Copies of this chain bind each other. A is one copy, B any other.
Amino acid sequence: MSLRDIARLAGVSVKTVSNVVNGYAHVSPETRAKVEKVLAELDYRPNLSARNLRRGRTGVIALALPELDAPYFAELSRFVIDAAAEHRWLVVIEQTDGGLDRERQALDGVRDHRVDGVILTPFAIGAEELAARTDDTALVLLGERIHDGPADHVAIDNVRAARDVTEHLIGLGRARIAALGAQDNSASGTAPLRLAGYRQALAEHGLPETVAKVERYHRAEGAAAMAGLLALDPRPDAVFCFNDLLALGAMRTILAAGLRVPEDIALAGLDDIEDGRYSTPTLTTVAPDKAELARIAVDLLRQRIDGRPGQPPREARAGYRLVPRESTLGR
């Protein structure tokens, strides 16, 4: 069922059918009605492969992120898919596992498929390599910061957000505030930014640092790292975890050790994943405006796709807010 079939049945040329389908203005009412009738009867759908071949567009964008089953990314993906739907784009998701090879593959595989653009959450891949890429597919970096990056970028102000959380903990009167989530295996993760914010706040109040490292932002690593912090003497009376998953893992360790949250140890995360709203105690966190992040990312991509090449990279910020809950306030 192609334009040709419709044209034959309606007794007009293929191009006229195409004009009707595309809402071209100068088609006589009678012709339009006749064609539309046949279109409806046969339930015509354009063949997008052909249309895209002709137009040089695919109508598909890729979203490349470390892992879809981390709640933060799942929630974000939802918004990206919704935002893309408004531009009638489909979204294919590529999982990189934060590995350099797979991040490259994602950019490559995606190139194979000639998507119109890529939204990438980089982790292992560095700024230099991204800058050096030869592919001219539109690219937007989402959620991580590569300083003076080679592509459009959108994120929340991670330094400030981390400082806000830390100050919240300081405001509770806690003095031994640990950070959980530093990393040294990522070329472009947010860990350094969040660490910087944490340090700023502590420095302003003359408090000492305690930093626990992890490799990945998973519950299991949060749980393990927390065990290390519990073994310290004196042990921390508050912990800022660099994301909610780490915090939930840490919470499990604290509670399983027979200690109380927040009475013995106050706990805060970052991401505002839904789990944290139903844990016991509920988890204090920073809520990035995920819908805004997604909307901006898609919008930057749209401008990049529609615009002329060679425009300088743009930097955009999405909002966030601190959400105090039971894990720092008690019930």
Contact = CB atoms under 8 A, between A and B. Distances in A.
Interface stretch (A160-168, A194-202, A246-254): A246-254
Interface string A261-303: 0000000000000110111101000000000000000000000
A252 B62 CA distance: 37
Contact of A43 (B67, B68, B134): B134
A74 B82 contact: no
A252 B275 CA distance: 11
Interface string A227-257: 0000000000000000000001101100110
Copies in the complex: 2
A133 B234 CA distance: 67
Contact of A78 (B45, B47, B95): B95
Contacts of A112: 45-46, 48
B68 A71 contact: no
A25 interface: no
A93 interface: yes
27 contacts: A45-B114, A47-B53, A48-B112, A49-B49, A50-B53, A60-B60, A60-B92, A68-B68, A68-B77, A68-B78, A69-B71, A71-B74, A74-B74, A81-B95, A90-B92, A90-B113, A92-B93, A93-B93, A219-B277, A248-B275, A251-B280, A252-B279, A255-B280, A256-B280, A256-B331, A279-B279, A280-B280
